[in-house]
Structures are given as C-alpha cells and as structure tokens.
Amino acid sequence: MVQVTRTIQAPVDEVFAVLSDGWSYASWVVGASHIRNVDATWPQVGARIHHSVGPWPCTIQDTTAVRALDPPHSIELDARLWPMGAAVVRVELRAVSPTSCEAVMSEQAVRGPGRLMPHAVQAVLLTPRNRESLSRLADLAEGGYPDARADSPDR
C-alpha cells in the first residue's frame, strides 16, 4: 500500500468527526468534486457516499463504501471509480498529545486497470494526491470544522 503521514494539530476525536461526516469528503479528498448523497448510516460498515469525480462536465459518478470502522481510530473504505477501478483506502489516527494526532493514509488499487500498475508507479501517482488530501483534512480539523458545523444554520 502507498502510505502518507501527517501530524494534525487537533485531537483524534475532532479529526474523526470530519471523517464521520460523509458530506465533507469533497472538501478534503482530492479528485472528489461533488457529493450527491450520503447513506443515513454513514460511517457504519456498508454505508456509502455517492460521489462525482473530476471536472464538470466530464464527471464520473460512483460510490465509496465503508469496509471497516474503529471509531475514533480508523476507517477503511472501498473507493470506486469505474471504469478506472477501485482502491482500498485506510485512514488511521493516533494521538500524539491531547491536542494533536498523527494521520496515516494508505491506499492500494485492488480492482480494474489500476491494480496492474507496479507499486512504484502507484506511489508516484498517489503520494502527492494523498499528501494534499491529508493537508485538506488537517485544515478542516484544525479550523474547528466540527464545531462550526454544529453551529451552522444550514445543518
């Protein structure tokens, strides 16, 4: 699996709150352009986010489903993007201090043409993308996203 790590200046629970909000995924997952729907049971195992990927009007519509969940420590996803394939994505959170945590994002293509790529090629493609995704996740968590969401009149 291709793996990237980032220290986030927010507690594990606050970072996991962002991961637990399926509607937030287009805000931090690089490539996700629009969330069309989120199953009411998200982030329980089997629940799905219905997303669009890519720039309009060339978007691809597919889903991402929860494969495993250990709140607030990890979530594992089956991220689909047919006809390109699918990947297993895992985000793990480890407390560094009461006010910070380490986020580890791992990804591996498991179905479709992407799985035929050698690991080194997957790493070249996925490492910068996933670094940016963790940077965006950090921005949301460090910016008080869960608190701001709770106070929003739109939610």
pLDDT in tens, 45-72: 999 999 998 888 888 899 999 999 999 9
Residue 153 has pLDDT above 70, yes or no: no
For 93-108, give one letter per residue: b (16+ CB within 10 A) or e: beeeeeeebebbbbbb
Residue predicted with more confidence, 148 or 6: 6
pLDDT at 147: 61
| 2-149 topology per CATH | Alpha-D-Glucose-1,6-Bisphosphate; Chain A, domain 4 (3.30.530)
State the Cα–Cα distance between residues 124 and 115, nearest whole angstrom. 14
pTM for this model (two decimals) = 0.90
Check pLDDT > 60 for residue 148: no
Quote the pLDDT of residue 114: 82
| Mean per-residue pLDDT of the chain | 91
Give the domain ranges of the chain: 2-149
The sign of the torsion formed by the CA atoms of 150, 152, 142, 94 equals positive
Instruction: Summarize pLDDT for 34-48 with one digit per residue, the tens.
Output: 999 999 999 999 999
Element (H, E) at 88: strand 85-97
pLDDT reading at 27 higher than 90 = yes
Whether residue 152 is predicted with pLDDT greater than 70 in this model: the reply is: no
Supply the pLDDT for residue 17.
96
pLDDT at 84: 77
Q: What pLDDT shows up at residue 155?
A: 39
Name which residue leads in pLDDT, 150 or 13: 13
